[in-house]
Amino acid sequence: MKNVRITLYGIPNCDTVKKSRAWMTEHGLDYEFRDFKKQGVPADRASAWTKALGWQKLLNRQGTTWRKLDADTQATVQDDASARAVMQLYPSTIKRPVVEWQVEGQSEPQIHVGFVPEQWQTLIDTQGQD
């Protein structure tokens, strides 16, 4: 894609991340992969994600990691700041993947969470191919 930098955040063994990476490769998209387990969750990005999407959409309260947290830790999550704190400590509580599409000339990237090929295809169609 012209003038678009794609960053995909997730965990390599996550099935949804694997599907997402395969889809991008099949569509000839160059992207940077950031591994939550090895590189952690960048605090500035987590803040931007919760601002753009809302912590309720970003925090995976259905996943295994969340269910394994003690009730007191779960109860601390009340707002953006407390959700980000839990996501920083337990990156697997973040829905995956988080994908940033930084279009040249735009100050903030478009942010998607989960495997959403329809939205990605729209971005490709809008930005055009090289």
The tens digit of pLDDT for each residue in 75-107 reads: 999 999 999 999 999 999 999 999 999 988 888
Say which of 14, 48, 85, 116 is annotated catalytic: 14
Tell me if residue 37 is catalytic. Answer: no
State the pLDDT confidence band at 128, using cuts at 50, 70 and 90: low
The Cα–Cα gap between 121 and 81 comes to 32
Q: What is the pTM of this model?
A: 0.90
Asked if the model's pLDDT at residue 130 lies above 60, the reply is no
- E-strand ranges in 11-128 read 32-35, 98-103, 110-113
Q: Are 91 and 11 in contact (CB under 8 A)?
A: yes
Kindly report the CATH class assigned to 4-127.
alpha beta
CA distances to 65, 92, 97, 122 from 40, in Å: 16, 10, 14, 30
9 three-class SS: strand
